[in-house]
Amino acid sequence: MRKKASREQERRFQMKIKNIPLSRPSITEKEIKQVTEVLMSGHLTTGLKVTEFEENMSNYLGKGIYSAGLNSCTAGLYLSLLACGVGEGDEVIVPTWTFAATAHVVYWTGAKPVLCDVKEDSLNLDETLLERLVTPKTKVIIPVHFAGFPCEMDSIMTLARNHNLYVIEDAAHAIGTKYKGKNIGAIGDATVFSFYATKNLACGEGGMVVSKNKKLIQQVKKTLYFGINKEAYKKHEGKGRWFYDIESMGYKFNLDNIHAAIGLSQLEKLDPMNERRRYIAHLYKDGLDKRIVLPKDSKEHLHSYHLFYIRVDKSIISRDELALKLQEKNIGSSVHFIPLHKHSFYQKRFSKQQFPVADRIHDEVLSIPMFPDMSNEDVAYVIENINGILRKAL
Ligand SMILES: Cc1ncc(COP(=O)(O)O)c(C=O)c1O
């Protein structure tokens, strides 16, 4: 199967047939050099590159921010919940429009996720619904900055403070996003980024929890590696540096030097890469058929355009047919997301709740190619094909 795919790719390449994936990481000699350095150093797992990546991330986000590198955003969300004391009997509010990670981790702690509907213009959690969802059991709200556009953080933080709740931001899509001039990462009690292969800062796998709360980050750092305190030798006189103490329950979620090395190079060029994403979004907005509903943007914020999604009225063409026709033209597309309450696991648990916005529009939304290395010619090819498909659909 694999062999066939690569031969097909080669054929397309030789015949100069366009093939535009949904996303592709920007990897250059810099990443290769950094990784080679780690490989030659002999220290492949957690070490100085991870520390350097954490420090650079803190500096990037602003004064007083602490960072803990992990092997995924999912692990970071889970450990942040634990650090906020979430457990059995608690409730955590999450949007239904998200990936499994955001809500699954709530179950891992023994607590229950409470799903919230989203706003039609941004597909972000509808903050006006939160008050009704808060109960005496609520402990945390997890806003997801969908596609890289920020949630209404002022309202969310005010409501959280009024009810004594924590805010853990799922910023898997939002590295480099700004809310009213503030970096995402400098607002909530904790913010978690993803460095998964398709993300704006791509390491293959990886994640980071950031917070202004030093104690929270120390707690995350302790639990991400078996609850081990490696500094314990300092307290135990006469012990060598080999000494450590297992102080609590913990996991094996540590980031390694190889992935951190990729992250370091990616972080250096994150802003120009995000700027390119914004320019591609501008080209799409200018060129796409005016009947297409475009994602929300705002001069107040800085969008990082992890995804560029479009909405097409079902009466013109179905989302699935459009995706198939794009595939025929070798243009990648995907669906972000099938709302959680539409999946069988969650359906059973949320059958009594209504999600009018997500229900009405979820089968109209399609993500189209968006990555910094896309040429203007590639963007024009995507626009031309989408507009052509829509014209023919009439
Ligand atoms: C909104 C959201 N949250 C969390 C995650 C999990 O990220 P990771 O794969 O780094 O665990 C993803 C992954 O795609 C995501 O889209």
**Alpha-carbon distances of 284 from 64, 295, 316, 383, rounded to whole Å:** 38, 11, 19, 7
Write the DSSP symbol of residue 374: -
What torsion, rounded to 10 degrees, do the Cα atoms 224, 226, 227, 229 define?
Answer: -100
Q: How close is the Cα of 195 to the center of ligand 1, in Å?
A: 9
Residue range 338-392, pLDDT digits in tens = 999 999 999 999 988 999 999 999 999 999 999 999 999 999 999 999 999 999 9
Q: Is 296 a catalytic residue?
A: no
Q: How close is the Cα of 174 to the center of ligand 1, in Å?
A: 11
Report domain 29-268's class.
alpha beta
User: What per-residue confidence (pLDDT) applies to 230?
Assistant: 78
Residue range 136-172, pLDDT digits in tens = 999 999 999 999 999 999 999 999 999 999 999 999 9
Cα-atom radius of gyration of the chain, to the nearest Å? 22
Closest CA to 92 of 108, 68, 69, 71: 108
Cα distance between residue 203 and residue 198, in whole Å: 9
Cα distance between residue 85 and residue 126, in whole Å: 25
User: What per-residue confidence (pLDDT) applies to 236?
Assistant: 77
Collapsing DSSP states into helix, strand and coil, what is residue 211?
strand
pLDDT-derived band at 11 (thresholds 50, 70, 90) equals low
Tokens of 213: 């709360």
Q: How close is the Cα of 271 to the center of ligand 1, in Å?
A: 21
Cα distance between residue 81 and residue 42, in whole Å: 35
- Which residue type is seen at 379? V
Domain map of the chain by residue range?
Answer: 2-18+270-393, 29-268
Establish whether residue 97 lines the binding site of ligand 1, counting it when its CB lies within 6 angstroms of any ligand atom.
Answer: no
Closest CA to 365 of 344, 333, 335, 391: 335
Measured in whole angstroms, the distance separating CA 110 from the mean position of its chain's CA atoms is: 23
Write the DSSP symbol of residue 68: E
Does 191 have pLDDT greater than 80? yes
User: What per-residue confidence (pLDDT) applies to 5?
Assistant: 54
Contact predicate 261/27, CB 8 Å: no
Establish whether residue 172 lines the binding site of ligand 1, counting it when its CB lies within 6 angstroms of any ligand atom.
Answer: yes
Does 1 have pLDDT greater than 50? no
Contact predicate 313/291, CB 8 Å: yes
Q: Catalytic pick from 49, 119, 199, 221?
A: 199
Q: Is 71 left (phi over 0), alpha (psi -120 to 50) or beta?
A: alpha
Does 323 have pLDDT greater than 80? yes
Establish whether residue 381 lines the binding site of ligand 1, counting it when its CB lies within 6 angstroms of any ligand atom.
Answer: no
Tokens of 218: 């120390």
User: What per-residue confidence (pLDDT) applies to 277?
Assistant: 98
Does 175 have pLDDT greater than 80? yes
Residue range 18-58, pLDDT digits in tens = 899 999 999 999 999 999 999 999 999 999 999 999 999 99
Backbone CA torsion sign across 131, 135, 136, 142: negative
Is domain 2-18+270-393 given the CATH code 3.40.50.1000 in the classification?
A: no
The answer to whether 2-18+270-393 and 29-268 have equal CATH topology is no
Residue range 83-134, pLDDT digits in tens = 999 999 999 999 999 999 999 999 999 999 999 999 999 999 999 999 999 9
Backbone CA torsion sign across 14, 19, 21, 26: positive
- Which residue type is seen at 218? Q
Cα distance between residue 162 and residue 156, in whole Å: 10
